[in-house]
Structure 1
């Protein structure tokens, strides 16, 4: 699945920012400038503009909440890059000619307002259908991009401005259906309606009543079409190939499917094709002509496949070629390296199977490569030393291939990198050439074989520029003492480091991610970690030897930006720290495998973003239900309370309002995303977690937002299983084993259509197995053993695949796959070998044995035994039928 296998988010993040700075992506706004007209602005135009100003307040927007990796692939803007961002309308004065106002363009002869550029103008408030904007009937160009219109609908009155050639509304917090009236603007040359995506990966804007074909059929003059993150849910219309003037096509993250028309690649004027993050969109690259105008081709995270054509060398204007996470296969045509304008190449996560990169790379045409991404693309061999000729190369990723670094004569032969990713490159020591890499901002040496202590010279490159440092998954030893750094991401996990958490960390000023998990650090958690309260988002100390009272150590209330806290697999004790109440952004809390002794922290349910809660294997006790204190966990995806001393019963309505587990995953499974994609764009395994799934303890390296799990096993819960649990239609794993639950299995479990693993073993459940459970078509693991279930095992669907181990030690349960079957009176009959035996254990053995002592004596013995056992059989059979009927 496309999004599931993607592990390159930090690359995309910086690649996008880099592209934005260099201007490779298209500018957000057209060339609309303020001009002085020969005649003054008409009074009615001034009045309309001033009325329009009164509709809004001015506040700098913050769009970072709505970003994730697909946004970055196709969006030239990021929150840190805001060209000319200021409140333009705030400086409009009535006493001045409106044609001189910032962002206003007037017709030189008539004084009518013909252009309005209010992009990045801090507008906040709804754009209403009765807005005075729609009184400016001579408008030809409107740019309202990057404002905050508070999720109002796009007014259909735009369709009345028939002279419009440019309508640019993207990334301005519009929502809902795009009005069909816009399709009547036949003069449009530039249409930009792009949107952000919501927290749950849904688009704010969509086309529903009209499809894309009918929407654009009248716009025959279109040159630029931007519908990024508009939910189209359609195939790419063939009618696009009729737009002979089209130069820019951007349909990233639109839910497109089917085959991409090859004819689009052949449009003579088309310069930019950007269709990333359409997971079900497939196609092939055609044979390119010398006359092609393509400058950018971005097919990232789609289902494009096949071989790259040799004719790609004809794309002489190509500057950016991004095909990461597709299904392209090798060999890689060497002609691509002859493109002298090529600046960005991202071939990551494909299947090229190329034995090596060409030794001539950088020797001939010397392409102006600035960024080369080859992560996990199945290349092998040595990076050619001619890479040193690529003097403009600033960003290089050769991680997770079989590539090795070039053998250079001097450590200064390589370019000065800003980004260098060498994960899983079979390194056994810190590369010596790093000594001269004083421009590094991002360095990844993870998953190599680097041993020993970190050399002192290495910290010399960790100057103010180094923002991202990943040394995880090596064999580093000794204590960790580091000088003050300005790094925001630091990962030293999965090594053999020892000692306490060094106080030098307290001098770091901008730390957002600190991952020291799976080492052998000891001591207590220092209180000065609270000093990172204004910046720290992720703290992971999982799998060390840290001890002490958790409640006393974490007392700071200033860690307001904390999104993940993982202190599992340590020796911590005490209570759950109350300061977490203030961490309103916390999404993942893992305190499992410690010695924490506390009651259930009911206050956690008030945390609005909490999605993962793990308290597994501690010393928690008491009920998890308290009427005045508990109502629901609305955002929770994973809840693991197993191996504690929780007790008490759960009311039937307990799971009524667990919204995240009630709602089924929307859309296709190809679009499923991970919790850490929302947490931080750098790391692919920040949210690993261990769950009991399908009877096995499994470490999930990434937490899928569609994966939902409840594990209450190995506690002391009693009473009936709440019937409201059947409302959790999105639940994938349910484990209630090793408790004291009584009563029958709720038939409502049959409504849990996504359930894959169900474990109710080692309880005191009675009555029959509900026939409704056969409706669970995704069920792969079932364990109902060691209960007091009765009656026949249901047949059909997945129940035909389960072995007898799913049902053992339920004495009154019978039917396949158990060795007990049912006779016509609904009474179980045992079969063992070739001997017929009734349920009460009677056989004719006494008769046969008695034959040696005489036929009469034998019959007497048999008769006495039969009489006694028939009496027992009659009681059991009668009572059994009564119990069956009651259930």
Structure 2
């Protein structure tokens, strides 16, 4: 009898172990019943292959990646693709999942490039390594790519330059280095976020070709001047951040053509010269930051009269004069002009420091251009404020571009 009981228990134990093995097998193999479409079968294989590379999954996202219905997997979106009329994976949203790979490696290759019907790929705050793999740009309906706050590295990922349908490109908070290709400004994007990398050399002269509304160059190692071509983006550029680079030289007067811009920030660079009088044509600007540079001369009264100006930051420069309109803004807390050379105002540099700064000759290459006021050509009215009233009247929402300066998702 005892032998019979032992045999029965052994049989039960064997059955439990076999069932456990089957359940484990189901986690990586397709279950009976097939797939809703061949394209979903392909997506299943791609996802399971990627899953095998993940070692760290603190939110246990991959626990849902079981079975044939990949459309129920957390992080994936499905829809019918129009040209094949089949259901497929069209979106990946890994924002904040904190995925990490084996041996601190989690490449995008074999994953993003193999999901053929992608419309968007959002992967903020993970630990992807390497670069954007070849084949990614071939996706027919690929509109949004967000790889921000990962561990991508190497030269600028030129694969994205062939993604002709992109409208949103976010590469911030990675370790991309070297220069930015001039053709990046030919991308038909609305958003171009490149901040917080190790990009260097000069900003390409093709900058003005971009149709982007929001651009961030901040916290890189760009040098040289701001390209004069920026003025060509007069009807499209809303917000641009150049802060915390190594930019030098004088501001081009063409910046004054940016009649749609609401945010312009060049703080913490090595820029110099007077403020171009064309800045008085920035009729929609709300936030203008030139702090921590080497600007000098008088602050144009027309800048202090900009109709939508909410904050003008000129601190830590070498300005020598402000007129009545600018002084009104100082009293209102709109204009920050601390640590300049306006000696009748409080919190300025010492007279000795100012004398030392101006003891060296300073001149911009084309100083006459700094007196050009382009909006006068666009209007025959007697005052600039009347000319500016023709622009958009609704105040822009809270600036989007400054939110890119923190790593998390927008």
Q: TM-score, with normalisation over the residues of structure 2? A: 0.63
Question: How far apart are residue 772 of structure 1 and its match?
Answer: 1.0
Give the whole-Å Cα distance in 1 for the aligned partners of 2:73 and 2:138.
Answer: 20
| Offset from partner CA, 1:778-837 (integer Å, 9 cap, x none) | 11122100111111354269725543981111033545xx478xxxxxxxxx9xxxxxxx
**1:540 and 1:566 in contact (8 A); partners too:** yes
Deviation of 1:596 (Å): 0.9
Cα separation, 1, equivalents of 2:342 and 2:175: 40
2:185 to 584, 605, 610: 605
Choose between structure 1 and 2 for higher RCO, CA contacts under 8 A separated by at least 6 residues: 2
Equivalent residue, structure 1, for 2:388: none
Task: Mark the CA change 1:740 to 1:575 in structure 2 (over 3 Å): closer, same or farther.
Answer: same
Distance in structure 2 (CA, Å) of the matches to 1:649 and 1:517: 35
Matches of 1:731 and 1:775, distance apart in 2? 16
C-alpha distance in 2, partners of 1:732/1:798? Answer: 21
1:658 counterpart = 2:269: no
Aligned partners of 2:235 and 2:259 also within 8 Å: no
Partners of 2:325 and 2:121 lie apart in 1 by: 49
Equivalent position of 1:83 in the other structure = none
2:124 aligned to 505, 527, 542, which one? 542
Deviation (angstroms), 1:777: 1.8
* C-alpha distance in 2 between matches for 1:631 and 1:526: 29
1:515 maps to which residue? 93
How many residues are paired up?
A: 298
What is the CA–CA distance in structure 1 between the aligned matches of 2:295 and 2:215, rounded to whole Å?
23
The CA deviation at 1:464 is: 4.6
Cα distance, 1:657 vs structure 2: 1.5
**Partners of 2:216 and 2:242 within 8 A in 1:** yes
Judged with a 3 Å threshold, the aligned counterparts in structure 2 of structure 1 residues 773 and 747 are, in CA distance, closer, same or farther, namely same
- One of 173, 196, 199 as aligned partner of 1:617: 196
Three-state SS of the structure 2 residue aligned to 1:510 is strand
Larger Cα-atom Rg: 1
Q: Which residue of 2 aligns with 1:754?
A: 284
Aligned partner (choices 329, 333, 339) of residue 803 of structure 1 = 333
| TM superposition shift of 1:747 | 1.6
Map Cα deviations across residues 362-414 of structure 1 (whole Å, 9 max, x no partner): xxxxxxxxxxxxxxxxxxxxxxxxxxxxxxxxxxxxxxxxxxxxxxxxxxxxx
Shift of residue 659, structure 1, vs aligned partner: 4.6
CA distance in 1, matches of 2:174, 2:217: 13
Counterparts of 2:315 and 2:231, CA distance in 1? 28
Is 1:527 paired with 2:109?
yes
Trace 1:659-678 onto structure 2 (pairs within 5 A). 659-661=234-236
Distance 1:655 1:717 in 2: 15
**Does the 8 Å CA contact 2:95/2:125 hold for their aligned counterparts?**
yes
C-alpha distance 515-660 of structure 1, shift in aligned 2 (>3 A): farther
> 2:315–2:338: 8 Å Cα contact kept in structure 1?
yes
Equivalent-residue separation in structure 1 for 2:73 and 2:91 (angstroms): 5
Separation (CA, whole Å) in 1 of partners of 2:233 and 2:264: 14
Q: CA deviation at 1:579?
A: 2.0
Gaps of 5+ in 2: 1-26, 41-56, 78-85, 363-367, 372-410
Distance 2:195 2:204 in 1: 18
> Distance in 2 between the 1:521 and 1:748 partners?
48
Determine helix, strand or coil for the equivalent of 1:565.
Answer: strand
State how far apart, in whole Å, the 2-side matches of 1:804 and 1:631 are. Answer: 30
Deviations 1:118-171 (A, max 9, x none): xxxxxxxxxxxxxxxxxxxxxxxxxxxxxxxxxxxxxxxxxxxxxxxxxxxxxx
1:131-170 matched pairs, under 5 angstroms: none
2:321 aligned counterpart, secondary structure: strand
Q: Report how far residue 486 of structure 1 moved.
A: 5.3
| Change in 2 beyond 3 A, CA 1:563/1:611 | same
Counterparts of 1:280-299 in structure 2 under 5 Å? none
What are the ranges of 5 or more consecutive residues in structure 1 without an aligned counterpart? 1-454, 468-474, 494-507, 663-707, 821-829, 831-838, 841-871
Q: Residue 765 of structure 1: CA displacement?
A: 0.3
CA 1:522–1:647: 2 relative to 1, 3 Å: same
**Distance of 2:324 and 2:269 partners within structure 1:** 24
Q: Tell me the SS of whatever aligns to 2:303.
A: helix
Per-residue CA shift, 1:671-696, capped at 9, x if unaligned? xxxxxxxxxxxxxxxxxxxxxxxxxx
**1:764–1:631 Cα change, 3 Å:** closer
Q: 1:654 Cα deviation (Å)?
A: 2.2
Equivalent residue runs for 1:426-445 within 5 Å: none
| Aligned-partner Cα distance in 1 for 2:285–2:91 | 34
Query: Which SS does the other structure have where 2:198 is aligned?
Result: coil
Partners of 1:792 and 1:814 within 8 A in 2? no
Q: CA deviation at 1:614?
A: 0.7
Bigger fraction of residues in helix: 2
Going from structure 1 to structure 2, the CA distance change for 1:577 and 1:797 (only over 3 Å counts) comes to same
Aligned-residue offset at 1:487: 3.0
Alignment of structure 1 residues 334-349 onto 2, 5 Å: none
Q: 1:643 aligns with which of 219, 227, 234?
A: 219
The 3 A distance-change label for structure 1 pair 614 and 489 is: farther
Q: 1:571 aligns with which of 143, 146, 151?
A: 151
* Alignment partner, residue 593 of structure 1: 173
1:485 aligns with 2:61: no
CA apart distance, 1:518: 0.9
Local SS of the residue matching 2:256: helix
Q: Is the 8 A contact 2:273 2:295 kept in 1?
A: yes
- The superposition leaves residues 183-240 of structure 1 with CA deviations (integer Å, 9 ceiling, x where unpaired) of xxxxxxxxxxxxxxxxxxxxxxxxxxxxxxxxxxxxxxxxxxxxxxxxxxxxxxxxxx
Distance 1:573 1:819 in 2: 43
Structure 1 residues 558 and 727: alpha-carbon distance in aligned structure 2, compared to 1, 3 A threshold: same
Deviates more, 1:781-790 or 1:630-639: 630-639
Aligned partners of 1:530 and 1:558 also within 8 Å: no
Question: In the alignment, what sits opposite 1:729?
Answer: 259
User: Structure 1-normalised TM-score?
Assistant: 0.31
Query: What is the alpha-carbon distance in structure 2 between the residues aligned to residue 621 and residue 810 of structure 1?
Result: 29
